[in-house]
Amino acid sequence: METWSRRAQYEFFAPMSDPFYTLTFPMEIGPLLAYTRAKKCSFYRSMIWCVTKAMEEIPAFCWKDRRGTIVLHDTLVPSFTDLRPGSDAFHITTLEAGDNMEDFCRRAVAASAGQRAFLSPSRWPEDQLIYFSCLPWFPVTALKNERNLDPCDSIPRVAWGQYEPHGQGVRLLLSLELNHRLVDGVHVGQFYQALCRRISGWGGCV
């Protein structure tokens, strides 16, 4: 903490009982969508992988507040809602992203299909997780997550809804809920740029 570059900002937000903020912004997802359709790979799971890897690029998303002790994770682990075909009862699956998107999609499908409990077992510290939700039935313009109000909660919440045609592309509104003790707007901007690079990188890969 003594040598941490964000010490002053952290100490400014630390006394606040509700240091969380939510924002939503548009993403052009056309290249990733085209790739997943061509490869018959889940767009939802592919987007989870891309978001996770983009967050891992930005140290602020890997800093965690453990009651005033700041720790840094090397990797983050997606924990995401899922639905079985024909069911309206969701469950939550957690597994490491790995370094290959298509491999993650295959593992995620198998893990979700084989899961019988509402929550899958997790061998990772909870603050290493990213919570993902998807509401594909309608566009999401804003979203606030339920939580026990713990000001040290360092887990990013990520959600999106239905994507829509937009001009010559396809637009998805991405919602983040973050702890201002750890993540500022500039870090969200860095994440946005990293995610844009990852998504656009799938263009021409079909």
**Residue 206 falls within a domain, yes or no?**
no
**Residue 36 falls within a domain, yes or no?**
no
Beta bridge partners of 119: 92
What is d(CA 73, CA 140) in angstroms, rounded to the nearest whole number?
Answer: 30
DSSP reduced 3-state for 121: coil
Number of structural domains the chain divides into = 1
We report the CATH number of the domain holding residue 133 as: 3.30.559.10
Q: Which residue has the tokens 């998107």?
A: 101
Cβ atoms of residues 164 and 170 within 8 Å = yes
Give me the pLDDT at residue 169, please.
94
Residues of the chain with pLDDT under 70: 1, 203-206
DSSP reduced 3-state for 126: helix
Closest CA to 45 of 58, 54, 36: 36
**Residue 119 falls within a domain, yes or no?**
yes
Q: Which domain covers residue 116, as residue numbers? A: 44-83+91-200
**Residue 158 falls within a domain, yes or no?**
yes
* Amino acid at position 76, single letter: L
Quick: pLDDT tens for 121-159. Answer: 899 999 999 999 999 999 999 899 999 999 999 999 999
Closest CA to 20 of 177, 130, 144, 152: 177
Give me the pLDDT at residue 4, please.
86
Alpha helical stretches, state H, the chain: 7-13, 30-39, 43-56, 59-62, 101-114, 185-200
Give me the pLDDT at residue 91, please.
96
Global pTM? Answer: 0.96
Give me the pLDDT at residue 205, please.
56
Give me the pLDDT at residue 204, please.
53
The pLDDT mean for the chain works out to: 94
**Residue 67 falls within a domain, yes or no?**
yes
